[in-house]
Amino acid sequence: MFRKLIFLSLFWGFSLQAKSPSPAPVLPPKDSSLSPSSLDAQTQKKISRAELMGIGFEVATLGVRNSSSNDLLGLQLLYGLRAVFIYPLSPKFFLKPSVGYFLKPEREGEVSVTQNVMEAGLGIHYALLTRKSFLWHVGLSQRADYLFSKISIKDSSANTPGLFRYRAGAASGLRFKLGSRADLTFDLEVGAIPFDNFRLQSAFSSGIIFFID
Amino acid sequence: MKNRILAKSWLAPFLSLFLLGLASCSQQLPFGPVNMMVIQPVGPGCQYEIGTVSLQTIENISELRGLLGRVVSNPNDLESDPNILQMGLGFQSLDLRLSGAQNSFAPLDKNSLLGVSLYYAIEKGHFLFKNLDPAADLLSVVSNMKETLLVQNAILKNNSDAKDFYSDNAAYVQVPGNEGPRNYFLHFPNEGITSLPLGFNSGVLVHEYAHMVVQYLFHNKRSEAGKTLSTSSENTLAAFEEGFADYFAFLATNDPGFFHCSFPGNGSGGRDLSHRKTLTPTEVTSIKTGIDFDSHDGGSVWASVQYQIGESIGHQENGRSLIRFINNLASCSGLASAQASINFDVLRNCHLQALGSAYGSRAQQLYQGAFGAAGGF
């Protein structure tokens, strides 16, 4: 309700501007803060991009530290997609729940192994730097993963038992304004997997967030 | 106010997830025998399936280490530094990714599947020999068996000048070290094999394990004089050893064409034990002179004879006779005490002794048919 009122007042401000743009005031108003244009500026200032609720879709890569099988910089890379939700808590803090799916197919001759990772995550972020068309946020991220692999040889295949795994770490991201209703996002997180000897795991994702509020 | 309430309700699952993660820290991979999902052979015709086997000699699954050795890797050329093979330095444990719980696991990536496959195959070879004859239980013969290293994707130059490295092959190597001989099973990288890579071919790895059995039950019993043989004798022994190893690889996989699962285009049944073969005059000449000698040629003839003997008297029975044979070969051939000359005739007679009179005549006929025509005796 509070957010709707802000948007209504913002809309009202724009409406006033549209209806009476031409007559210039003879005298400056005594209290400039009461003018429609300054009200507009005030409300815009209050609603930073961190305060907007949104839903987004990202392409992402997971980098799991592995000294024996590394694709890049000692990391084994999995590729996938994430759906994220942005839920503002305050002008500076917002929650970022997400779900994602990643896979890594590997083949050698007739033998193939395809890793599958399904994740559900919840991060809490702080808007460190907010500009008109830019937002830099940092936060804590934690995720629960469900892993399994499909092993195949010729016509025979089987899924491995699943494995639940928890990881937590730090996250940071940049958001660039694409329009009034969308941001381009770049997110990076680095965490550790306690169950797996605190194996390092990173993730990079990029996509678009659409504001729904 | 509503926002605050919402914030609190969202923080609860955030904290719950965090506590769940902390709880998972206490989980540890077990020590001791484990069940493992691997690719295993299920019969002739290169039939393989994915199933769970019991790795009974594993002591530490996270390091893939057990009574029979440890699976490792080394990013360097194994001959670039004498410390690597002679002292066993520079090897790294595999970075395994496993799923599962308690005592049942499965590899999550190809590298881990390859690692557990190597250990599984060596253990398969170990129990094959041990169950046929306790005399071939290397755990009671090799004092430093646990120090055996199974090197995954080993890097080794073809020769000292070459820039290319061995690939699509596997080997058993014994290297003299300061504290006694060190044993290695080398698995070389897969380059051109588009069918079953050697690391997943249990037959190939049991073949290599059989070389280790021959090393300890025969070569180590040869006297110093018995190690100075003619080219012809050494080549005969090398060919026989390849055939011996192929036969036990067949016993482990129940697939006489196990080799062709990885090399399907390698001749028409060249290493298929079920194809009858005879030693050709060209092969006899190469054994005697060493020119264009390939130990696998004579070996495939020897293996095919064993297959036929096994078909006749039972493969288990023939496997047991071959273990008795290899265990007594140094003394039977005279190599335990003095220089001797080895040819297929000597080997045949030693095997016939091990077989016993009940099966001797049939085996003699088969030997004669395969080796006699070209003058192999």
pLDDT digits (tens, 9 = 90+) for A74-92: 899 999 999 999 999 988 9
Mean pLDDT along residues A59-81: 90
Q: Where are the beta strands (DSSP E) in chain B?
A: 34-43, 47-55, 58-60, 65-66, 69-73, 92-93, 98-101, 104-107, 149-151, 170-175, 182-187
A55 Cα to chain B: minimum distance (Å): 17
Check pLDDT > 70 for residue B57: yes
Of B50, B190, B196, which has the smallest distance from its Cβ to A156's Cβ?
Answer: B50
- Residue predicted with more confidence, B103 or A188: A188
Residue A35 has pLDDT above 50, yes or no: no
Beta pairing, strands A111-131 & A134-153: antiparallel
* 3-state DSSP assignment of residue A66: coil
The minimum CA-CA distance between B105 and chain A, rounded to whole Å, is 8
Q: Classify the C-alpha dihedral B176-B178-B183-B186 as positive or negative.
A: negative
Which residues partner with A55 through β-bridges?
A85, A210
- Give the residue-averaged pLDDT of A27-48: 50
A23/A21 Cα distance (integer angstroms): 6
pLDDT greater at residue A142 or residue A14: A142
| C-alpha–C-alpha distance, residues A21 and A24, integer Å | 8
Are A153 and B100 spatial neighbours (Cβ–Cβ below 8 Å)?
Answer: no
C-beta atoms of B37 and A157 within 8 A: no
| Percent of chain B surpassing pLDDT 90 | 63
B123 to B99, B253, B303: CA distances (angstroms) = 21, 13, 22
Amino acid at residue number B242 = E
Residues in chain B closer than 8 A to A78 (CB atoms): none
Q: Which amino acid is present at B244?
A: F
DSSP output for A136-152:
EEEEEEEEEEEEEEEEE
Backbone angles phi, psi at B52, to 5 degrees: -105, 130
User: What tokens appear for A116 in the block?
Assistant: 């599958």
pLDDT of residue A194: 80
Q: Do B110 and A165 make contact, defined as CB atoms within 8 angstroms?
A: no
Quote the CA–CA distance of B147 and B139 in Å, as a whole number: 11
B window 187-206, beta carbon within 8 A of A: 190, 193-197, 200
Can you give the pLDDT at residue A11?
Answer: 35
Query: What would the 3-class secondary structure string for B187-222 be?
Result: ECCCCCCCCCCHHHCHHHHHHHHHHHHHHHHCHHHC
Pairwise CB contact (< 8 Å): A90 & B18: no
Chain-chain contact of B104 with A148 (C-beta, under 8 angstroms): no
CB–CB contact A69 B110 (8 Å): yes
**DSSP code of residue A183:** E
* Cβ contact B49–A87 (<8 Å): no
pLDDT of B14 over the 70 cut: no
How many CB atoms neighbour CB B339 within 10 A? 15
Question: What is the rounded average pLDDT of the residues A114-143?
Answer: 94
* pLDDT of the residue at B336: 86
pLDDT, tens digit, 9 for 90 and up, residues B244-276: 999 999 999 999 999 999 998 766 568 999 999
- B103-112 burial by CB neighbour count: b if 16+ within 10 A, else e? bebbbbbbbb
| Cβ under 8 Å to A: B residues 118-157 | 152
Contacting residues of A for B114, CB less than 8 Å apart: 108
B102 torsion bin: left (phi>0), alpha (psi -120 to 50), beta (else): left
pLDDT tops 80 at residue B162: no
What's the angle, vertex CA A152, arms to CA A151 and CA A157, rounded to 5? 90
CB pairs under 8 A between A and B: 142
Q: Is the pLDDT of residue B366 over 80?
A: yes
Using pLDDT thresholds of 50, 70 and 90, give the confidence band for residue A18. Answer: very low
A106 → closest Cβ in B99, B100, B109 = B109
Instruction: Assign residue B226 a region (left: φ > 0; alpha: ψ between -120 and 50; beta: otherwise).
Output: alpha
Q: What is the mean pLDDT of residues B323-343?
A: 90
Q: What is the pLDDT of residue A54?
A: 93
Query: Is pLDDT at B12 greater than 70 in this prediction?
Result: no
Give the number of other CB atoms < 10 A from CB of residue B172: 21
Mean of the per-residue pLDDT values of chain B = 88
Give pLDDT, residue B4.
Answer: 54
Predicted local distance difference test score (pLDDT) of residue B51: 94
Q: Give yes or no for residue A27 having a pLDDT over 60.
A: no
Provide mean pLDDT across the span B223-233. 86
Q: 3-state class of B91 per DSSP?
A: coil
What is residue A51's predicted lDDT score, i.e. its pLDDT?
84
User: Which tens digit of pLDDT belongs to each residue from B84-132?
Assistant: 998 889 999 999 999 987 789 999 999 999 999 999 999 999 999 999 9
Query: Which helix (H) or strand (E) segment is A187 a member of?
Result: strand A182-193
List of chain B residues whose C-beta atoms are within 8 Å of the C-beta of residue A115 = 108-109
Please tell me which residue of chain A has the smallest CA distance to B99.
A163
The residue type at B375: G
B291 burial via Cβ count (<10 Å: 0-12, 13-18, 19+): exposed
pLDDT range class, residue A4, cuts 50, 70, 90: very low
- In a 3-state reduction of DSSP, which class is residue A13? helix
User: Do the chains contact at A161 and B50, CB–CB below 8 Å?
Assistant: no
What SS3 class is residue B114? helix
Q: Report pLDDT for B247.
A: 98
Q: Picking from A98-112, B195-209, B224-238, which range would have the lowest pLDDT averaged per residue? A: B224-238
| For residue A169, pLDDT beyond 70 | yes
3-state helix, strand, coil in chain A (%, to 5): 20, 60, 20
- Nearest by CB to residue A110, choosing from B37, B111, B196, is B196
Q: Are B318 and B367 in contact (CB under 8 A)?
A: no
Across B22-47, average pLDDT = 78
Identify the pLDDT of residue B22. Answer: 59
Could you tell me which residues come within 8 angstroms of residue A2 by beta carbon, excluding any fewer than 6 positions away? B2, B3
Minimum Cα–Cα distance from A93: chain B residue: B7
Cα–Cα distance for residue pair B150/B121, rounded to 1 Å: 11
pLDDT band at B363, cuts 50/70/90?
Answer: confident
**Inter-chain CB proximity B194 and A95 less than 8 Å:** no
Ramachandran bin of A154, using left for φ above 0, alpha for ψ from -120 to 50, beta for the remaining angles = left
Nearest to B187 by CA among B250, B240, B246, B114: B114
Strands (DSSP E) contained in B76-162 are 92-93, 98-101, 104-107, 149-151
Closest chain A residue to B190, measured at CA: A108
Higher pLDDT, B124 or B6: B124
Residue B21: per-residue pLDDT:
59
What pLDDT score was predicted for residue A67?
A: 85
The more confident residue out of B371 and A15 is B371
In this prediction, what percent of chain B has a pLDDT beyond 70?
89
Q: Which of A3-7, A105-109, B371-375 has the lowest mean pLDDT?
A: A3-7
Q: Do the chains contact at B107 and A147, CB–CB below 8 Å?
A: no
- The C-alpha atoms of residue B244 and residue B251 are separated, in whole angstroms, by 11
Q: Where does the pLDDT of residue A34 fall: very low under 50, low under 70, confident under 90, or very high at 90 and above?
A: very low
Residue entry with tokens 């696991």 = B105
For residue B228, pLDDT beyond 90: no
Q: Which amino acid belongs to residue A128? A: L
Confidence band of B83 (pLDDT split at 50, 70, 90): confident
Q: Which ipTM did the prediction report?
A: 0.86
Q: What pLDDT, on the 0 to 100 scale, is given for residue A24?
A: 46
Please report residues of A whose CB lies closer than 8 A to that of B195.
109-110
- pLDDT(A39) > 90: no
